[in-house]
Structure 1
């Protein structure tokens, strides 16, 4: 029997703007895209891509939102009400000049060459900025935590990663069952004082009243779960609430790719983010590891709290932690966390601050899991071992204690 109409759909790889352009080019209306007979001829400035001055009057070349580039027009400055876009155009122009002076390699034979080159630069930056903005909006739609995610690239023309899918929790690969059902919970009136989940598991209560860590690295964290009598304000519910800070994915300037920086102050011993990805077997991790090594990258993290059966791979599926870089002097430390599931084969990986972190500071952790100062741990401790790395990869962290290699 045929399926009812409307049951089938195919995901489109084109962006909303491109589809709007196609509609206006073909003079078609589409309710889903917001194109109707009224706004079919509507014009909104998307970005400015050229500048000229004629008879003392300034003109800007305008790319209209939802319209193909063939419809770009020169508009006098007095007709434009997009003050922010004009400022952005001028900023891009200034940055281009700075790059030219710094490189001292770009030879411009005449005025036309210069105008063509700077226009190309500004258009590329404008398109990249729009792509990053769309990606930023997508990430914020998909995340389930309080903190916002921002994206910026002031270094090069690198676009958003094409083959990365944002997830909020472990994604089990075929044949792996992640049982997350809690079987028992506490009945505390005050979990800081009662016989709570950590004590029942033979562990120490991990947090103080301000929800900051009070246990040493290598010790497991047992949080209250869905069966517990305590409410959402319980001080033993921290990792499960997700990232509370506004974080920014930014392009590093020293060849380390994307990185993460905080936009807010983070106090010492506070939960920052969780490391999630696809859960695979260690055998599959070995196979993927060889491919990642050949590319000089890896996102493999062993789940070896007790046994070494499974690995988290955040290469294609992950959250914001996918972009956290390595440092030999990190400001984040890894802890194993158990909440609803007490299966020791599948601990959740949480990253906590090892010191006070200032706004704008990059967030890093040591891929060999060696902290700094009083939180140093050994490779034989109970925490997760380092991500799988076979080929020696040069370290570019720039810290005084840099070992020269990430593995």
Structure 2
């Protein structure tokens, strides 16, 4: 759209490129910006397989063509398909469905895929595409080095519709922060010099390997944007973001989504931050009543010094939004101050409490009673305030029964 001053205005489209490609091909329209030109207008590429049948001893597959509407699906003989990976995926999905049936019916169902099995295969294929798009979106929006992956081998749940990935706190009306750093250190070696933590009257938080060395409940003061030290400074850890590749996966015991690490994590290492909307405690109480009715918990009270602000990661957050609770967790919370020195608004960093194996789920205690004794300065997630208690499903030997 162009206004009278010939200035271009761009409006984001809610439809995906694939949907727009389907419309273009259906209407025989050319649109180079989404990859549809004269040469590929009538191209046919298999997107996924929908169904299978046998006629007169010959095997056929119902094909969904990429960039074409479902009304263009066609039955193709197996010899026409040059996509062994998609064939393998089709049979994997089919067996997943059939495994839920009685074993005596398994053989008969292979002869002709029923409508319910075919529906499942199509839904699984669409889910796989949706999760892949979401994975790509997450990696476009993240600002840290570690990659994010998405996996669902449990059910047909697709990406959450009302969740928006952010990298830093998102302030809301009524939240006014103070204490931006106005000076920084001038150390040539922050590990041994008189650095920001000492100026703040606290202990240097990390060892030479950038692992946490202070007990939970003690604050971390990292070097800020006004410091003269470089990016390799040993006092710049949390601000660099999660260094590990993580996977958001669907749990198989009713806990929804979870997060697992794809790399080994050493003990006392920084893993991720908990970010979300920063709201007032009054707003947190109002939202908390709504969340209790839905059985969800995303409110993180910032009561390091006072109880004025809360972080709500229900709609806006990062990968920590999907980290589950455990009464015996492998992550521990610390309060961190970097550029914003307002003691009412610490950043929330999660550090490993022990060595964590690749493939292991990451968890933290929503009551912040993990390893180590916490001082009264620790922060808590969603304080009780006479709210409904949610049953805990962590399954650990020391499970308290409720979050």
Q: Which residue of 1 aligns with 2:326?
A: 327
Q: Secondary structure at the match of 2:36?
A: coil
Distance 1:158 1:180 in 2: 43
Distance 1:7 1:307 in 2: 48
Matched, 1:397 2:398: no
Q: How does 1:377-396 map to 2 (within 5 A)?
A: 377=374, 381-389=376-384, 390-396=387-393
Q: Secondary structure at the match of 2:304?
A: coil
| Cα deviation, residue 55, structure 1 | 4.6
Q: How does 1:268-307 map to 2 (within 5 A)?
A: 268-307=267-306
**Is the CA contact (8 Å cut-off) linking 1:289 and 1:388 kept in structure 2?**
no
Structure 1 residues 188 and 79: CA distance shift in structure 2, 3 A? same
Distance 2:4 2:354 in 1: 58
**Is the CA contact (8 Å cut-off) linking 1:222 and 1:337 kept in structure 2?**
yes
Structure 1 outlier segments of 4+, above 6 Å: 106-113
Q: Deviations over 1:1-52 (max 9, x none)?
A: x664454343322222111111111111112211111111111111111123
Q: Which residue of 1 aligns with 2:51?
A: 50
Q: Which residue of 2 aligns with 1:22?
A: 23
For structure 2, the residue ranges without an aligned partner over 5 or more in a row are: none
Q: Secondary structure at the match of 1:53?
A: strand
Q: Which residue of 2 aligns with 1:98?
A: 99
**Is the CA contact (8 Å cut-off) linking 2:53 and 2:112 kept in structure 1?**
no
Q: Which residue of 1 aligns with 2:202?
A: 203
| Cα deviation, residue 253, structure 1 | 0.8
**Is the CA contact (8 Å cut-off) linking 1:269 and 1:354 kept in structure 2?**
yes
Q: Which residue of 1 aligns with 2:12?
A: 11
**Is the CA contact (8 Å cut-off) linking 2:52 and 2:113 kept in structure 1?**
no
Structure 1 residues 315 and 210: CA distance shift in structure 2, 3 A? same
Distance 2:84 2:199 in 1: 61
| Cα deviation, residue 108, structure 1 | 12
- Using the size of structure 1 for normalisation, the TM-score is 0.93
**Is the CA contact (8 Å cut-off) linking 1:328 and 1:399 kept in structure 2?**
yes
Q: Secondary structure at the match of 2:380?
A: coil
Q: How does 1:11-160 map to 2 (within 5 A)?
A: 11-101=12-102, 114-160=113-159
Distance 2:184 2:110 in 1: 74
Query: Which stretch shows the higher mean deviation, 338-347 or 171-180?
Result: 171-180
**Is the CA contact (8 Å cut-off) linking 1:172 and 1:178 kept in structure 2?**
no
Q: Secondary structure at the match of 2:53?
A: strand
For structure 1, the residue ranges without an aligned partner over 5 or more in a row are: none
Q: Secondary structure at the match of 1:236?
A: coil
Structure 1 residues 276 and 290: CA distance shift in structure 2, 3 A? same
| Cα deviation, residue 57, structure 1 | 4.0
Q: Deviations over 1:349-374 (max 9, x none)?
A: 000000111111111100000013xx
Q: Deviations over 1:177-216 (max 9, x none)?
A: 4458431111111111111110110011111111111100
Please give the root-mean-square deviation of Cα atoms over the aligned residues, in Å: 2.1
Distance 1:365 1:204 in 2: 24
- Using the size of structure 2 for normalisation, the TM-score is 0.94
Q: Secondary structure at the match of 1:285?
A: helix
Q: Secondary structure at the match of 2:34?
A: coil
**Is the CA contact (8 Å cut-off) linking 1:298 and 1:388 kept in structure 2?**
no
